[in-house]
Amino acid sequence: MRFYDLSGYFSKLESTTKRLEMFDILSEALSKVSAEEIGKVVYMLQEMLLPPFFNVQLGIADKMAEKAISKAYGASVEKIEREYKKIGDLGSIAEELNENKRSSMLTVSDVYGELMKIAGTGGKGSVEAKINLISKLLESSSPLESKYLIRFMLGKLRLGVGDATIMEALSMAKLHDRSFKKELERAFNLCSNLGRVAEVFYREGEEGIKRFKVEVMEPIRPALAERLPNFEEIIKKLGRCAVDQKFDGFRAQVHKDGDKVKVYSRNLEDITGYMPEISEAVRKLKAERIIFDSEALTYDEETSTLYPFQITIQRKRKHNIEEVSKSFPLRLFVFDIMLLDDRQLINEPYIERRKILERIFGENETISRSSIIITDDPKEFDKFFELTVSSGLEGVVAKKLDSPYSAGARNFNWVKLKRSYRSQLNDTIDTVILGYFRGKGLRAEFGIGALLVGVYDEKEDVFKTIAKVGSGFSEEQFKTLKKMLDDEKVNKKPARVDSILSPDVWVEPRYVIAVKADEITQSPIHTCGAKDGVGYALRFPRAVTFIRTDKKPEDTNTVREIIEMFREQKHVKI
């Protein structure tokens, strides 16, 4: 496929905010892509060269792009900077400066290959080398292509299509029917690589997708838990169940293949380098090949006290990891296992997986298994819960004994109960920032008075508004937020946002914040769960975290969860 043709479809996607039109455009585009290039096209739609666990990044900043555009088209950097301040889009500036009259003959593979070459350029003199590579690619491009090349390289393609929509469009493009999306999603959940799923689908058809299984070094999308307000509701829902500890650390999915060890975050980034002591301990496991799910926490060696998430997450911000690991060692608590040697465990009942886990993992300072009880007695549940939270943990997760490991899914196979659920809305709600309102009075200097935030609608693959959040941030955080959000600023409401309110500045849905509220109320001005003109909103919301770097926009609470929480709060005295 010519990159010019793909750029034309990008332009069509950009020109509409109607979901059905976008789906039709995307399906038509994907129907014209070959098996050799479908993976590359899917990655581009996802605004990446490869999934995050490959650690492949272009590393191109605005200044570098400006210099490359200047070199390619002969305009001064000063002129480009002036125009950029006016319109805020280097892609459109490149398009305007490009005087090529004909469409290029660049293929998607040509462009992708050059982009991979740019990403692989490092070391001394790499900045200049990257500028040269970018400028040569721009010189070979038509105006339309240069627009989308620059946007892609800067991470600002912003086509408004999510993974769920891509999978549905793949099904329609290949089979002229949307119904195979579920099978594509299952394969994606097992490998977290939608480009590879698309390649297999186009080469091997439906049977190739059905053959997907768990593989070492291909991270599985993590299973997630639903929530209920109390022990009685959980036992009523699950019956006799396992009650597991819930830790306030960061999710760590561990893969071992011989001496090779990889650790992946909740977002499936490769975080192996942040935890050398864990890799060393995993290598000593008797299993040749293993995949297990766990929570990583830092702890005090003298008192064996576990530190909270805020301390643990600093591992990702430190450079002297070896020294940090001595001062703040990590401890891994294993709570599930998905593969052992050649045995696929993901579809086996939880109770069987737990027996295997207990056989593999004992108790030591670096890797321990979580503690569980199995019960259908609310009093026994309550006693274990109190013991768990009194030891400083976050709460518990109840698990159906016969449930599989539900990769990538949030369902009632697992149900979490945190100490904050004693009052339903004392728990945090994860929201995505959709825009901001400019500040007034004292906040005028920050430039932000309140954020418009939303939650994810799984059915529609869009974000629905739920609140305006104006408190909970420090002065410094407001200033930092302004800079971060202005980098994501867009000129119109993003295609994946459903909103009645119009903030002063729209931003691409990218950043997640945790919010607390007094209660969920019904509201005519928010679109979360809206029916007959009435949706749901958060009453007196306030931010309780800055940016949740461990979560993607689609990891926010969902519309369905908000509606369930609204119903549940009627039974809780707040």
Task: Share the mean pLDDT of the chain.
Answer: 91
- Which pLDDT belongs to residue 348? 97
Active site residue 492: no
Q: Quick one: which of 299, 289, 286, 212 has its CA closest to 254? A: 289
Alpha helices in 154-240 (DSSP H): 163-175, 181-191, 194-210, 231-238
- 406-415 pLDDT, tens digit each: 999 989 999 9
Do residues 226 and 415 touch, judged by C-beta distance below 8 A?
yes
Q: Is pLDDT above 90 for 435?
A: yes
Do residues 271 and 380 touch, judged by C-beta distance below 8 A?
no
Q: Is pLDDT above 70 for 310?
A: no
Q: Identify the active-site residue in 40, 147, 246, 416.
A: 246
Q: How far apart are CA 113 and CA 137, in angstroms?
A: 11
User: Model pTM?
Assistant: 0.88
- 387-426 pLDDT, tens digit each: 988 887 889 999 999 999 999 998 999 999 987 665 445 5
Do residues 300 and 307 touch, judged by C-beta distance below 8 A?
yes
* 3-class SS of residue 78: helix
Return the structure tokens found at 170: 């793949």
Domains of the chain: 224-421 (3.30.470.30), 425-569 (2.40.50.140)
- Which pLDDT belongs to residue 17? 84
- Which pLDDT belongs to residue 309? 65
Q: Is pLDDT above 70 for 565?
A: yes
* 3-class SS of residue 46: coil
Three-class HEC string of 116-140: HHHHCCCCCCHHHHHHHHHHHHHHC
